[in-house]
Amino acid sequence: QSALTQPRSVSGSPGQSVTISCTGTFSDVGSSNYISWYQQHPGKVPKLIIYDVSKRPSGVPDRFSGSKSDNTASLTISGLQPDDEAYYYCSSNAGPSTLLFGGGTKVTVL
């Protein structure tokens, strides 16, 4: 049960786009339709922003988008805003009974 691999940090200026990758294996990301992304501000509870690879929960702006190719999932934040500065985590099921998280990526808005 190894964690999924994310870059430790990404940064961008307001208005720009950033993309965070989440790399696993065929046993998890590669064979899953249940990729999720979470945003977590310091000291706060994680917030679901993408589920089922590319779907957005109610209330999440369309600046957040998700995709997947082979064993890598990606989260793109378009039109970067100051409040987007946070940690982002991906997750994927690995088979029918295990959930894996990525190590987390810190997004910095310059």
Name the minimum Å distance from CB 35 to other proteins: 9
Nearer to other proteins by Cβ, of 14 and 95: the residue is 95
Residue 29, φ and ψ in degrees, nearest 5: -55, -45
Name the minimum Å distance from CB 51 to other proteins: 3
State the residues that interact with other proteins by CB under 8 A: 1, 3, 34, 36, 38, 40, 45-46, 48, 51-52, 55, 57, 87, 89, 91-93, 97-104
Q: Is 40 helix (H, G, I), strand (E, B) or coil?
A: strand
The two beta strands, 18-23 and 72-77, are: antiparallel
Do 103 and 5 form a contact (C-beta atoms < 8 A)? yes
